[in-house]
Structure 1
Amino acid sequence: MKALRTVLAVSLLAAAGTAMADSSVVHDGYAFDQNKLIPTGARLEAGTTGYGGALLWTANPYVGLALGYNGGDVSWSDDVKVNGSTYDMDMDNSVAYLNAEIRPWGASANRWVQGLYVAAGVGYIDNDYGLDRRVDGGRNFSVNNADFQAGAEGVNIKGNLNYDNEFAPYVGLGWAPKINKNWGVFGEVGAYYTGNPSVNLQRVSGSATSNLPGVNLDDELAAEAHKIANDDKYQWMPVGKVGVSYHW
């Protein structure tokens, strides 16, 4: 189902791009040229949102479009710290996007300056981050800033942090200079505004005790998940990626 949703999302984004192109042609009064709908290039990319690629359109030296997809796990860290607790992280990214790339110096004689651009667009986000934490028997640990001691059998905590089926606006800065007539490189940083994710944490095995009266692990896990899901810093999904492009 995830693959099907992604394909549908990409199709919708492509249709939106075509509609924008057609309306521009009608508005300017030019005759329709279907060749303008043919991509002028493609690129391969990898970064914080996974790996994948994009089709590229160049309307003029100042404006371009990129329709792409990133997925999989390209992890820059094997763990994530949330609210003072450290969890092993298993990333499953799925991001389809349509961006306009504005090049203020597109007509510059310097090809390195020509490659600077501002990206603005929308992404279809379906990311799932699996969280896992294992504490050995007898060890002290904390959850939601409450201290616990694991039982003899240890404790295993699992959970998920999800950005499911969301359209999210995107802004970014990039640099995509051409090395020669056909080949180029690029790098881009930016962020999607996703809103808060859905989060759950639960003890799947083991037990733990606290010295504080009325404090138990399951309640503190629920409280920690609630804090993560309502923390403003998780409303933004940072993006950093690099790659190579080919223009025909």
Structure 2
Amino acid sequence: MNKYVLACGICLVSTATMAELNVNVTRQENSQVTTAPVIAQEQNTATNVTTAAATDTVQTTTLEQGFSSPVVAEPVIQPASKLETGEENLTKRILGLNYTHDSKPFIAFAEAGIFGFGGGVGFSVNPYIDLTAGFNKGSWKDVEFASFELMDGTKYKMDIDTDVKSFYANIRPFAGKFHVTLGMVNQDNKIKGSLEPNEDNALFGTAEYVFDDATFDANKVGKVYGSLHYEKKTMPYIGIGWSPALTSRFGLTTQIGALYAGKPTIELYPENGNLAVQDKDHTTTLGAALEAEKESFKSNLEWFPVAKLGLWLRF
């Protein structure tokens, strides 16, 4: 009986041992398959624990200091935009170009000078270049003045009609008041007049004309008529100017320069039509002297002088 009981005990122990071994092997195989998810789960669990611990710590600290509300992070305040604060833009665009907010690129001007009275408009491309378009017109009748050679007793009368349209570029090399002007002018100017003995010059005896350094008796010649005009209608212009500002909107402008007009067409002829009158020294005739005088005028008037003064307004 005892042997039978002992044998049964040994069988039970052996069976239990083998079952335990099988369970351990199964656990090892399952652990190899589930190691990565378990580790990730453990890491998440650790993070949650840490976060919870930190939250508990903050809440505990807050309660210890006597605050009843939880800690809330302050919002970041963004600076207001220029439009919200009403600040003006630093730049603006006009005709596709950038300008500072206080720029006044448009120009209007009025002027007076050799070509008469006129005005125009302009536009500043940048601080260095202004583009302008203008006109001048004038008419003077019976303009009278005496000869600089008072001994010849000559009196001049002239009728002057001017009609000028200009297109200029004012170049400011220093972005200041001084500028160099280049451009083109379209003109239709006409000058005509007469020369006659000066009645007020009787003190000096018989009035005389001097043509081509030859002296003629004015009483024998009578009046001498003349005219001047340029065949060339469009002419290049070059000049310099000074345009100081009086205020932020108003200023002065001065300019001197010259047109390259080419040789003008000049007519000179005596009132009585007698070109055969001899000079006092009998060295030449009136006709020859007047022809020489015309050629001298033509050479001296290829460049036509320009001078003007005016006011400008910027907006």
Query: Does TM-score exceed 0.5, indicating one fold?
Result: yes
Per-residue CA shift, 1:151-173, capped at 9, x if unaligned?
A: 37x71111112124421111111
Change (3 A) 1:121 1:206: closer
- In structure 2, the partner of 1:26 is none
Report the AA paired with residue 242 of structure 1: L
1:41 paired with 2:75, answer no
**Equivalent residues in 2 for 1:1-248 (5 A)?**
33=95, 40-73=106-139, 78-79=144-145, 87-106=156-175, 114-135=176-197, 138-151=206-219, 155-205=222-272, 209-213=278-282, 215-229=284-298, 231=299, 233-248=300-315
Asked which structure has the greater CA Rg, the reply is 2
Percent identity between matched residues is 28
Counterpart CA distance in 1 for 2:95 and 2:108 is 21
Deviation at 1:74, TM superposition (A): 7.4
| The structure with more strand, counted as a fraction of residues | 1
Deviations along 1:10-34, one digit per CA (max 9) or x if unpaired, are: xxxxxxxxxxxxxxxxxxxxx9948
CA drift of 1:66 comes to 0.9
Q: Distance in 2 between matches of 1:172 and 1:210?
A: 42
Q: Residue by residue, what CA displacement relative to the aligned partner does 1:164-210 show, whole Å, maximum 9, x if unpaired?
A: 44211111111112222321111111111111111110112487653
Partner Cα separation in structure 2 for residue 243 and residue 136 of structure 1: 36
Indicate the structure with greater helix content: 2
Task: Describe the shift of the 1:218–1:59 C-alpha distance in structure 2 as closer, same or farther (beyond 3 A).
Answer: same
Q: Deviations over 1:116-160 (max 9, x none)?
A: 2111111112222223101269533322222221337x7111111
Higher RCO, 1 vs 2 (CA within 8 Å, ≥6 residues apart): 1
What whole-Å deviation, never above 9, does each CA across 1:216-240 have from its counterpart, x for those lacking one? 32342233223322x2x31111111
Shift of 1:73: 4.4
Inter-CA distance 66–81: structure 2 relative to 1 (3 Å threshold)? farther
- Counterpart Cα distance in 1 of 2:217 and 2:111: 45
- CA–CA separation in structure 2 for the residues paired with 1:150 and 1:116: 49
Q: Distance in 2 between matches of 1:73 and 1:56?
A: 26
Alignment TM-score, normalising by the size of structure 2: 0.56
Deviation at 1:211, TM superposition (A): 3.8
Contact 2:232 2:262 in 1 (8 A): no
Per the alignment, do residues 86 and 236 of structure 1 end up closer, same or farther by CA in structure 2, a change over 3 Å counting? Answer: farther
Contact kept in structure 2, 1:51 and 1:74, CA below 8 Å: no
Q: CA 1:196–1:166 in structure 2 vs 1: closer, same or farther (change >3 Å)? A: same
Is this contact kept in 1: 2:155–2:196, CA < 8 A?
Answer: no
5+ long unaligned stretches in structure 1: 1-30, 107-113
Return the alpha-carbon distance in structure 2 between the equivalents of residues 92 and 168 of structure 1: 18
2:123, 2:168 → 1: CA distance?
11
Over 3 Å counting, the alpha-carbon distance change for 1:32 and 1:52 in structure 2 is closer
CA 1:182 to 1:221, structure 2 compared with 1: closer, same or farther past 3 Å? same
Distance (Å, rounded) in 2 between the aligned partners of 1:132 and 1:155: 10
SS at match of 2:290: helix
Gap change, CA 1:214 and 1:178, over 3 Å in 2: closer
Write the distance in 1 (CA, Å) between the matches of 2:112 and 2:198. 36
CA distance in 1, matches of 2:177, 2:296: 41
Alignment RMSD, CA only?
A: 3.4
TM-score, normalization: structure 1?
Answer: 0.70
Q: Mark the runs of 5 or more structure 2 residues left unpaired by the alignment.
A: 1-92, 99-104, 200-205
